[in-house]
Amino acid sequence: MTTLTVTGLNKTYTLRSGLQFSRLQAVKDVDLELSAGRTVALVGQSGSGKSTIAKILAQLEKPTSGTIMLDGAPIGTRGRALAHYRDHVQMVFQDPFASLNPFHTIGHHLERPLLLHGKATRATLRAKVCELLERVNLTPTDSFIERRPHELSGGQRQRVAIARALAPEPTVLIADEPVSMLDVSIRLGVLNLLARLQREENLAMLYITHDLATARHFSDEILVMYRGEVVERGPADQVILDPQAEFTKQLLVAAPEPGNNPRFLAEARRRGVPMPDHLAPAEETS
C-alpha cells in the first residue's frame, strides 16, 4: 500500500526589493500523510501555502527543510531516483489553459509521458492513448487525438491533463485546485471523475482547494492552512461540523453550502455521486 509521508516541511523564500532583502516563510512545519485509497484535502485561502506544498511534493520546488518519504524510504531528487519518484507521484495543475502546449495535439500530450515513463512502445502507443482518453470520458477517442487544446472546452482540457497525469500509472495524484478555473456547470463532472479514478485505481490523492464544501464531499480528511501552517486537521465531517480553529470557522461562514443549492443536488444525483446523509432526499411518508 503506497504511502507518501511528509514531516516537518518548511519552505522559505528570499525576496528582494531594490537593495533590501527579506525572507518569507511560505510553509511552516507541515506534516501530512497520503495513503492508498484515501483523499486528503488541503484547504486555505490564496497565499496560505497550499500550492507551494503541491510543487514540493511534485519536486518542482525544493523544500528548505523537512523530509518526504515514499513507502518508508527517503525520496531521490536526481537521476534515476527522481524518475522513480515521478513514476509514482503526478500532478494535475490548476489552469488547463496554460498546462497544455497549444502547438501540440492531444495525442502528443499523452504519447510523450507514455514513452518517457516506459509505459508504451511505438507499436502500442495509439492503443494506450485511446485507453487514457476513455478513462477520462473523452470519446470517441479518435475525434480527440488529432485536435489541439484550443479546440477543446475548459473541462475537456482538464480531462486531458488528468489523462496525462495518469499515463505513468502513478500511485499518488496531486490535484491543485483542479476545478477553480472551470465553469461552475462542469466542475462537478471533473470532481466526480477524480473521485471515480481514485476509487478504481486505489490512488492516494491530495486535493488542494479553497472550497470547504467540495473538500467535505470529496475527501476523507481535511487539513486547514493559514499563513503557511496547518491550523486544523481531522476527518472531513468532524472538521466541518465541529471546527476548532477560528480560521476554519471563518471559512465555513464564507463557504456556500451545496445543500442550499438545488442545481448542485440535482446534478449530483443525476450523475450518481454518493451524497452524505444530511443531503440525501428525505423518505416519503404516508
What pLDDT was estimated at residue 272? 54
Q: Is residue 284 part of a domain?
A: no
For the stretch 124-138, pLDDT in tens is 999 999 999 999 999
pLDDT exceeds cutoff 50 at 260: no
Q: Which of 45-49, 80-84, 167-171, 184-188 ranks highest by mean pLDDT?
A: 167-171
Average pLDDT over every residue of 114-129: 95
Q: Is residue 36 part of a domain?
A: yes
pLDDT exceeds cutoff 90 at 142: yes
pLDDT exceeds cutoff 90 at 173: yes
Residue 87 domain boundaries = 3-274
pLDDT exceeds cutoff 90 at 251: no
Is residue 61 classed as helix, strand or coil in its secondary structure? coil
Average pLDDT over every residue of 131-149: 96
Percent of the chain with pLDDT over 70: 88
pLDDT exceeds cutoff 80 at 80: yes
For the stretch 189-199, pLDDT in tens is 999 999 999 99
Amino acid residing at 190: V
Q: Is residue 247 part of a domain?
A: yes
For the stretch 205-219, pLDDT in tens is 999 998 888 898 899
CA dihedral 72, 75, 81, 82 (to 10 degrees): 140
Q: Is residue 283 part of a domain?
A: no
pLDDT bucket at 279, cuts 50 / 70 / 90: very low
pTM of the model: 0.85
Q: Is residue 281 part of a domain?
A: no
* 104-196-216 Cα angle (round to 5): 110
What pLDDT was estimated at residue 252? 84
What pLDDT was estimated at residue 285? 37
What is the domain-level CATH number for residue 221?
3.40.50.300
List, as own/partner pairs, every contact residues 85-88 make where C-beta atoms lie below 8 angstroms and the sequence separation is at least 24, other chains included. 85/59, 86/59, 86/117, 86/168, 87/117, 87/168, 87/169, 87/170, 88/2, 88/170, 88/171, 88/172
Q: Is residue 121 part of a domain?
A: yes
- Least confident range from 54-68, 143-157, 254-268: namely 254-268
What pLDDT was estimated at residue 204? 96
- Tell me how far CA of residue 275 lies from CA of 133, 215, 267, 272, in angstroms: 27, 13, 11, 9
Q: Is residue 203 part of a domain?
A: yes
Percent of the chain with pLDDT over 90: 70
- Least confident range from 15-19, 157-161, 245-249, 269-273: namely 269-273
pLDDT bucket at 180, cuts 50 / 70 / 90: confident
pLDDT exceeds cutoff 60 at 262: no
What pLDDT was estimated at residue 273? 47
| Count: domains in the chain | 1
pLDDT bucket at 16, cuts 50 / 70 / 90: confident
pLDDT exceeds cutoff 50 at 283: no
pLDDT bucket at 259, cuts 50 / 70 / 90: very low
Q: Look over the chain and give the mean of its residue pLDDT values, rounded to a whole number.
A: 88
Q: Whose CA is closest to 225, among 43, 63, 66, 47?
A: 43
